[in-house]
Structure 1
């Protein structure tokens, strides 16, 4: 165990390790590194522990921590000695330690091992604090090069051993002299990541459930002097809506014109406990004070209607951060600021903690919307269509509760069948992908984003910048099985179909139309949506009688070659009548065939197109304004059904991958390039080869060594200056060889003369050297490195490019394309966002428009695509596990009939700063 140097300079505080965490009971806590100023809090934590807990932690009963031990415990270097604390705050804002986790690196023969210890407050056992602290401590340890935790535990301390095992680690243990010695590697595994994701899922789902099922609500307004201000009117409206909804007992403080049925109080101290939810509409400078006053009531969630936070600038952002720090330390989740509110249908009535005084009918669609103004328009559109809602949440500026949290809840909610999200920004795309994929596997998720690229960041949203191509967000959505649409109109079109009709069983479409021209229009629309006509196109004359209608409808639905039906009825004279809608609804319910309709006079979810199936379940054929709207929604539903029915593959685990070795290499190279601190502590000097932001360009040898850790081997190339050197290398490695210029504009461009292949002898090589040097002379400054490279010839095949780029927002992005103009000039590049599965990799290769060249295009031999996929899989695993890999390019990767050879590679490193981890992001 490392000793403490009491005369050493204070260690740099790792603020990036701070995080707000949702616990197993749905409440929150703040996790941060320990500070010297925590001495009194740590002593108070120790004194409050039971004698048993103290004995299990220290193997002895200590009534108080000795001063020297206390000093050692709170003074750490955050490298070899690390300690994290979980803190909670009381109503006065005073932080109390409720859990401690620490490691001490073992010196000598095991520098990658550290001794770990935990202590959780007796008063807070069972909330999952130990699991959270282990998760965060392991992440911090991996950043510092620790790969294994060990601990000596008393046999009766089964709870601590259980925390290790339940975290998904492979724990070894042995008992000697009455002490159990345990050890486990802390590198993430499929099982440990699954455990973390499941813990996160259950905790966040429960925290949302606490909000949506609150039986007692307090509305806090600005007081009588501000009753006519926006905040005053918001508070009065919210209180009235809660009373009218009937789903909760309502208390008010500082609200004028209180609706009958609410219990008014002069102050928060007078409100009877417990209260689970608070709706707050006060001036922004008072919001933090109000949240502190809610703590004694046991409030678990706050719907913050007020504005005046991050969207107003630096002062507002600081105000928002302070409010969240107070709320999270007290175990409170925050919806907002600038929220329109929360609607949730419950068994006792509607929880209408919102500004909406005309809520939609109850139903089985869950909607999430960030923007308050757009929430108004969205609810009106829902009402016009007759769609019933299970929940509606407006997150405003999404400072805390986000769409990810709601998706966690909806994955387990039996009352919701379809989910729709309007997202102005996505703060954590990697987590979004992980959570959305889990939800999409059980129920459809329909998403609208404020911009197609994901680069739009409205005022008030704390989102990292991104330099990713606009198609990256599309790929994130596709991998996650999300149905992405262009606007809220399309979102509701798709939602009403998926909420009221079964998923399509296939792609074969039958059309029932009132004219040939309409039928042709529908045929074009369904084809554009990826569907195919079954051949059954039925015409129903405008003057058809009831018997003709029944016979025609029966013939369409009884056709065994039909999977889905599109019905269009737009008479030129007179009404549609009751028979056709009734017969279509009954036939759809009877056969289970997915049906959409565009019928004059009907829109949305209507009783005219509703019928019961044989089991008594009600089904409604959704009605659309135009046939194109109906076909578009049907196409989205069909693609989602195929995604859900398709095996999404398995996590990538290529043989011979050692990302631990890769991390060692990168850590060492970054340490060599770290800034050298000079006399002025605010000034840094960077060594040669390191850019001011800390990037490090790897040379060929280091790039090859890094790739070798994951089983990717680069065919060696040898720099040469002239023909003599070129011939000497060729004689050494064997003929034939390839000759390449190192001029960037001509590199890899055989079509421009920068690459000469199959050079068979000395005479040919000398001639090629002269020509290539002459070609590159105009492009290369004198003395700028070796102008040529000689390399052994690889088998002939298709040249491809595989790249990885670390984006501040999206994390690692893998791209693939075929070399040459197809990718460089025309942008024919496919993208994937790790972690990928084997199916994702296969789809990535096939997504490039030039991909048919790999599969025997126009008589060319098919190449070894499996070998190419193996290379991409290894790059994906490396990029996913190595945030410090700023960029990597394999160019070209030549794929032949038997194998794939990497002929060139380059890489850039930078200090890791990934937005996503298994830890919750710090406060906005």
Structure 2
């Protein structure tokens, strides 16, 4: 999907020439009172029109009984009024020519279907007049870059609103304000912050689109509960990367409990977090699970102009603190720098033998106090070309304020990115004050530092790797045959034979099978294949056939086949009373060295995705799977395969022969093209297991789900990737 220019109304919302506060008051206990107070407190330079039919004047400004009484149409109206008055107020704004309205009022789609209908009516009224809506159920916005505060949050009741270069979108208004408040205490500053609430009209993607083009914004942060237009995400991510702007995101709904909470909060469907992870990984969005770490990462990245980081040097006032920090970084996949010989030579005169390695403990000095060698230590380490970032882990020690200041000054002189971890409580407040004076990024929790550095490192790797090149569609695919098979298939679960026919049409090796309606027909099929054989109950309505005893392996002769038929009938009747054996599938017995699962499905938000993982009957227990957007070429499929924890089993672990990983990658690619090209009818597809050998693979079990003809399914944006 191609990007287009940002909606100009977003720029108008963030920098209006005139604002009406509907429901204005001088009572700071009311939403309208706080909105008017905060707008005036932070020196808004445009026209302000308080609207309150019961007052002639508010905060020294003339008050108006209605929007229409103002005479001139304000650019923006903020509505902080009871729900019962909102429809008429929106209608009046639309008739007066207001360009955009911010709806603080809640109790709409998040409360159920009636609220959703009322919300749609508001949008229809506004749309008919060319007016855009932000919200409802939002907390407004504020733009430090433009000196505009259009929110009701008390977090903005501060003396100074400092402008920075972090742009923030949030579905939760209270969380937006909380993020701002905590970040402000750490010296981190924003360009613009927008809460989008229910996203009835303007949605988070519109704000992100603006932030990508906004020269005041260097890093973009988003708190997301659900995507109003998920089909835009990839194009927005690509545009952010093209602009050199990291996009960091915290997504609620990773768990079932979180998904329920997100839906009840802003009527948002959380969607599959695993699919979002795949989309984010492939498009350069950095996912985090904590807002504090997200904003810390954004502030540090913006402070150092988004330099790439890979290897870290730790300087600490505590050997124990340095060891813990090293462990946590290692757990996060962030390597410590190995000092070059010249660095060791520069540190040796300052430290006792064996004390000048990474992490460097200032307590291991030869003489004096830590403060006396702090700057010289950092100078030497920062000069090392293997060091990308300096992590200063401060614990309780003498002269913390001065030591902190000396380290920060030396780090700033070096030009290298740095981050401080201020572990102590109030005893380190003097050090924190020195860091705030120097605009030096810091956090009070090691966990925040590690998460932030992991995000920064992930983004650095993605930027250097860049978007993957396109790969051609595999040869030997008969998409017309697959389409014809699906056209004839019933809606719902597909039988194994039907699913395997689809796989074969896309060039996936499958083991031959024959449907038999009687025990004697099963014997005849077995003798045609040659013993041993496999017997399976032929039904699309039993997903886990092994659990039901409906799969029998290694049947060696005709007697075993006849007995197997009877055994399956007994087993399934006990597992699901009333189930009868109408047909069995007789298959040649296949062997392999490893079982994998390969599958695909059409995600409701992001379209077709493909999956690979450790397979067999323990697939759910092992939970070793990777997803990617479909379609993929073999090279991209190989990269996906290598992300599995179990991938070493393919490479010849402990003297075993290497397995045919190229054939696995080819199968992943073909399945991805199948789910992509047949997405209108094929909702799901699983191959489990795919048997992998030293040469070749074979799909020995498969299932699928067909959609009704012509369903309204997401199409995704396509494009094979490596």
Report if TM-score (shorter chain) is over 0.5: yes
CA distance in 2, matches of 1:801, 1:809: 23
Structure-2 change in CA distance of 1:558 and 1:341 (3 Å): same
The answer to whether residue 516 in structure 2 is matched with residue 720 in structure 1 is yes
The answer to whether residue 157 in structure 2 is matched with residue 357 in structure 1 is yes
The answer to whether residue 326 in structure 2 is matched with residue 523 in structure 1 is yes
Q: CA deviation at 1:766?
A: 2.7
Q: What residue is the counterpart of 2:449 in the other structure? A: 630
CA distance in 2, matches of 1:212, 1:660: 52
Helix, strand or coil for the counterpart of 2:266?
coil
Helix, strand or coil for the counterpart of 1:499?
helix
State the TM-score, normalizing by the size of structure 1: 0.65
Q: What residue is the counterpart of 1:590 in the other structure? A: 414
Q: What residue is the counterpart of 2:571 in the other structure? A: 779
CA distance in 2, matches of 1:587, 1:444: 23
Deviations 1:108-154 (A, max 9, x none): xxxxxxxxxxxxxxxxxxxxxxxxxxxxxxxxxxxxxxxxxxxxxxx
Deviations 1:646-683 (A, max 9, x none): 244245642345657755654x447xx6xxxxxxxxxx
Q: What residue is the counterpart of 2:640 in the other structure? A: 844
CA distance in 2, matches of 1:603, 1:755: 72
Q: CA deviation at 1:783?
A: 5.1
Among 385, 389, 400, which residue is 1:576 paired with? 400
Unaligned runs of 5+ in 2: 338-356, 574-578, 718-722
Check the 8 A contact 1:602/1:623 in 2, yes or no.
no
Q: What residue is the counterpart of 1:641 in the other structure? A: 460
Deviations 1:557-598 (A, max 9, x none): 12333222211233344x324354244333344242444443
Deviations 1:45-74 (A, max 9, x none): xxxxxxxxxxxxxxxxxxxxxxxxxxxxxx
Among 481, 490, 497, which residue is 2:293 paired with? 490
CA distance in 2, matches of 1:505, 1:393: 28
CA distance in 1, matches of 2:460, 2:9: 30
Structure-2 change in CA distance of 1:659 and 1:721 (3 Å): closer
Structure-2 change in CA distance of 1:713 and 1:628 (3 Å): closer
Q: What residue is the counterpart of 1:53 in the other structure? A: none
Q: CA deviation at 1:641?
A: 1.3
Structure-2 change in CA distance of 1:448 and 1:820 (3 Å): same
Helix, strand or coil for the counterpart of 1:324?
helix
The answer to whether residue 561 in structure 2 is matched with residue 769 in structure 1 is yes
Structure-2 change in CA distance of 1:253 and 1:836 (3 Å): farther
Q: What residue is the counterpart of 2:535 in the other structure? A: 740
Check the 8 A contact 1:250/1:261 in 2, yes or no.
no
Structure-2 change in CA distance of 1:371 and 1:836 (3 Å): farther
CA distance in 1, matches of 2:371, 2:270: 61
The answer to whether residue 687 in structure 2 is matched with residue 887 in structure 1 is no
Check the 8 A contact 1:340/1:396 in 2, yes or no.
yes
CA distance in 1, matches of 2:128, 2:632: 36
Check the 8 A contact 2:510/2:699 in 1, yes or no.
yes
Among 415, 437, 450, which residue is 2:216 paired with? 415
CA distance in 1, matches of 2:523, 2:430: 78
State the TM-score, normalizing by the size of structure 2: 0.81
CA distance in 1, matches of 2:413, 2:100: 42
Check the 8 A contact 2:168/2:190 in 1, yes or no.
yes
CA distance in 2, matches of 1:209, 1:608: 33
Helix, strand or coil for the counterpart of 1:245?
coil
The answer to whether residue 538 in structure 2 is matched with residue 538 in structure 1 is no
Unaligned runs of 5+ in 1: 1-193, 612-619, 674-694, 920-924
CA distance in 2, matches of 1:205, 1:472: 28
Deviations 1:621-659 (A, max 9, x none): 312214443333222221221122224424564234565
Check the 8 A contact 2:685/2:704 in 1, yes or no.
yes
CA distance in 2, matches of 1:725, 1:710: 29
Q: CA deviation at 1:389?
A: 0.9
Check the 8 A contact 1:437/1:481 in 2, yes or no.
yes
Q: CA deviation at 1:555?
A: 1.8
Check the 8 A contact 2:226/2:270 in 1, yes or no.
no
The answer to whether residue 19 in structure 2 is matched with residue 214 in structure 1 is no
Deviations 1:305-326 (A, max 9, x none): 1123223444322211110111
CA distance in 2, matches of 1:637, 1:746: 42
Q: CA deviation at 1:738?
A: 3.8
Q: What residue is the counterpart of 2:44 in the other structure? A: 246
Among 340, 345, 348, which residue is 2:139 paired with? 340
The answer to whether residue 112 in structure 2 is matched with residue 303 in structure 1 is no
Check the 8 A contact 2:650/2:661 in 1, yes or no.
yes
Q: CA deviation at 1:711?
A: 4.0
CA distance in 2, matches of 1:417, 1:660: 48
Check the 8 A contact 1:366/1:416 in 2, yes or no.
yes
Q: What residue is the counterpart of 1:754 in the other structure? A: 552
- Does 842-851 or 561-570 show the bigger shift? 842-851
Structure-2 change in CA distance of 1:376 and 1:818 (3 Å): closer
Helix, strand or coil for the counterpart of 1:425?
coil
Helix, strand or coil for the counterpart of 1:443?
coil
Check the 8 A contact 1:310/1:460 in 2, yes or no.
no
Q: CA deviation at 1:724?
A: 5.5
Deviations 1:230-289 (A, max 9, x none): 7xx323332333334324332333374855685644433343545332211223233232
Q: CA deviation at 1:728?
A: 4.2
Structure-2 change in CA distance of 1:261 and 1:714 (3 Å): farther
Among 905, 910, 915, which residue is 2:702 paired with? 905
Q: CA deviation at 1:438?
A: 4.3
CA distance in 2, matches of 1:458, 1:726: 51
Q: What residue is the counterpart of 1:565 in the other structure? A: 390
Q: What residue is the counterpart of 1:234 in the other structure? A: 31
Q: CA deviation at 1:868?
A: 1.9
Structure-2 change in CA distance of 1:565 and 1:257 (3 Å): farther
Helix, strand or coil for the counterpart of 2:119?
helix
Among 642, 661, 665, which residue is 1:869 paired with? 665
Helix, strand or coil for the counterpart of 1:581?
helix
Q: What residue is the counterpart of 2:345 in the other structure? A: none
Q: How many equivalent pairs are there?
A: 671
The answer to whether residue 377 in structure 2 is matched with residue 555 in structure 1 is no
CA distance in 2, matches of 1:522, 1:402: 39
Check the 8 A contact 1:748/1:892 in 2, yes or no.
no
Helix, strand or coil for the counterpart of 1:876?
helix
CA distance in 2, matches of 1:865, 1:847: 13
Q: What residue is the counterpart of 2:654 in the other structure? A: 858
CA distance in 2, matches of 1:461, 1:716: 51
Q: CA deviation at 1:730?
A: 5.5
Structure-to-structure mapping, 1:333-482, within 5 angstroms: 333-346=132-145, 349-355=146-152, 356-358=156-158, 360-436=161-237, 438-439=239-240, 442-453=244-255, 455-456=259-260, 457-459=262-264, 461-464=266-269, 468=272, 471-482=274-285
CA distance in 2, matches of 1:205, 1:581: 44
Q: CA deviation at 1:721?
A: 5.8
Check the 8 A contact 1:585/1:621 in 2, yes or no.
no
The answer to whether residue 80 in structure 2 is matched with residue 278 in structure 1 is no
Structure-2 change in CA distance of 1:872 and 1:520 (3 Å): same
> CA-atom RMSD, angstroms?
3.8
Structure-2 change in CA distance of 1:724 and 1:813 (3 Å): same
